[in-house]
Amino acid sequence: MNWKFLKTNWFYLALGFLAICYGIRKFPQLNPFHQPDVKGKIKLSDGQSEAKKGAALLGFVPDIADKHSPDAEEITQANAEAFLKRFANVAVSERKKFGIPVSVILAAAYVNSKAGKNEAAMKAKNYFAIPCTDEWEGETTQISGNCFREYESAWASFRDFSIYLSSQEWFGALKKSAGKDWRIWVKKLGKEDISQTDKMVSIIEQFDLQELD
């Protein structure tokens, strides 16, 4: 390309250059050096979202357990969020007083009450499905032919669960040997038919509840 050509066709060359600049500005994907902005467009897979971390339960709302979690079809996202957020601080208080891991308390309540939606929880405020026993002198209620303890408040249910566990002859040894190891706790609760081990494990891992222990 010589100077004579440039001098003769500079106007058209300038128009062409401006057209190319406009096209790149209008359609950045035409730029071979362009890197697309993916911020906010990547869908985090399960377990990657920071919103699912158990420590945030003291003031956050986690996603509902996925299809692999127990009774997911019966527990809506709103149910799970409200339940775990509502009782996180209560479970922390119980752990401080009785030494039971927060994750174990929350998971047992979640599983045994179906996030507060089964009949025992709704009718008797019994979130742990604790049955009537000979030493129980409080109110009771009958559900499907079975006798369950009845409480005046949800807090009373959580406190009685702590007392119920700590009164078991094996509690002292369990507390000493397990410490904060929630897996040992849930295994023992399953063995004693107090809750369901597999479902408790699923809930704790799904919501990272062990981070509260």
Q: What is the reported pTM?
A: 0.68
Q: Which amino acid is at 129?
A: A
Instruction: Indicate whether 38 and 65 sit together in one domain.
Output: no
Contacts of 149 (CB under 8 A, 6+ apart): 124, 126, 130, 131, 132, 136, 138, 139, 140, 160
**Domain tally, the chain:** 2
Instruction: Indicate whether 107 and 127 sit together in one domain.
Output: yes
pLDDT tens for the 213 residues of the chain, in order: 565 555 566 666 666 666 666 565 655 545 544 443 333 322 223 433 443 444 444 443 333 333 333 444 478 777 887 888 899 999 999 999 999 999 999 999 999 999 999 999 999 999 999 999 998 999 999 999 999 999 999 999 999 999 999 999 999 999 999 999 999 999 999 999 999 999 999 999 988 899 998
Instruction: Indicate whether 22 and 66 sit together in one domain.
Output: no
Q: Maximum distance among all alpha carbons in the chain?
A: 110
List the structure tokens of 61.
Answer: 């709302």
Residue 60 sits in which domain range?
52-212
Judge residue 81's burial from the number of C-beta atoms within 10 Å of its C-beta, 0-12 exposed, 13-18 middle, 19 or more buried.
Answer: middle
Instruction: Indicate whether 148 and 69 sit together in one domain.
Output: yes
